[in-house]
Amino acid sequence: MKASVVGFHDKQVGNGALFEDIYLIDGKRTPFGKYTGGLSTVSPTDLGIIASRAAIEASGVPASDIDQTIVANIGQASADSFFLPRHIALYSGAPIESTALLTQRICGSGVELLGQAAEQIALGKANLVLGCGTDTMSRFPLASYAARQGFQLGRPEFIDVLWEALNDTAAVPMGFTADNLAREFSLSREEVDAFAMRSQKRYAMAHEANFFQGEITPIAAKGVLEIENLKPRKYRCNGRDGIAADEHPRQVTMEQLAKLPFVFSKEGPTTAGSASGIVDGAAALMIASGEYVRANGLKPLGKIRGFASTGVLPEVMGIGPVPAINLLLTQMGLTTKNIDRFEINEAFSAQCLAVARALKLDEEKLNINGGAIAIGHPLGATGVRLALTCLKTLHRDNKQLGIASACIGGGQGIAMVVEAC
């Protein structure tokens, strides 16, 4: 068998690709630090290097074998962001001759980079690809886009890029899209809050069982990232201690959630408790051809079977996973009943719950270790985490097929089918 790809395009829905003999060897992620928390002083480049080095070590492959590095990063949160993918590649040990690029599909970027890596391998342009998603959302800047052209005395114009990024200027702010879906699917405040509490509780149970230790690499309070012939990179966490666990999860009750005010529309039901957390973090996976896997005697986590992306109306962007999942499964001759585990990003409780209802999912298969309501959603890293968590869950539960999927700001959806080895 040889790595191969077959693309597909449905003009009324979207596009994607099906793969043969392409593997996800292993991966790691950093803990996800809460907004202005432990990782808020660490650049996305450094977070990406830390996650990538850990993924390479977990995979048991030499970094010198890396042919390409594909990175997702949404917010340019450090002065050297222009060099982010190249620096992550080089400081992770990839050869000077290897190449690096940045991909951006907002919340779906992590899944997108895995699909792009698979395509590069299937086209014969690589045998081993480092895939990394990273964002330090706490460091998204205050910006003055017109300062070079001058401003009136006493009237400099600055915006908060993090806040403005949550607003689709072509339609409505992101949270409004969840409230729109809540109305369309007749979701009550109580149902939405219950979904949020379930995410927190499921995360707590998985954490108590040490599930996340298998995917998290701890970060020391400070450190120096060094590689031969390059200048050392120093980082320091926000606080005296390092960070070894996710910071955003919390214990909540329905009574506490019920007291929170609506954040977006006057009618709700979205609150701070039923929205994904703004967090900092990175995740990385090693993607390889079957030829490389067999030649090196590796035992990969799983295969990439296919991925698809679709477009939807911006004002209901959260429904994006529905057509993406349906399109991909149709192309594969499968249905949702054939899928053992779903990792669908919880951008908002109402959004994820609407997707589950539209697909008529068995919710006992959905985000069974909790989701972004508990863990948080570092934009560029989330898709990689979804795929990694999905495969780890399939192995733990002795299951075979899983889906990693996300809605995308602006009105898109993306989905990937993975198979445990």
Residues labelled catalytic: 107, 407
Secondary structure of residue 56 in the 3-state scheme: helix
Tokens of 395: 């192995």
The Cα 385–Cα 132 span in angstroms is 10
The Cα 222–Cα 237 span in angstroms is 6
Tokens of 214: 């298998």
Q: Which of 87, 118, 119 is nearest to 102 (CA)?
A: 87
The Cα 9–Cα 257 span in angstroms is 43
Tokens of 222: 């400070």
The Cα 352–Cα 366 span in angstroms is 10
Half-sphere exposure of 124 (CA within 13 A, CB side): 1
Structural contact between residues 376 and 281, judged by C-beta atoms closer than 8 angstroms? yes
- Alpha-carbon Rg for the chain, nearest whole angstrom, is 20
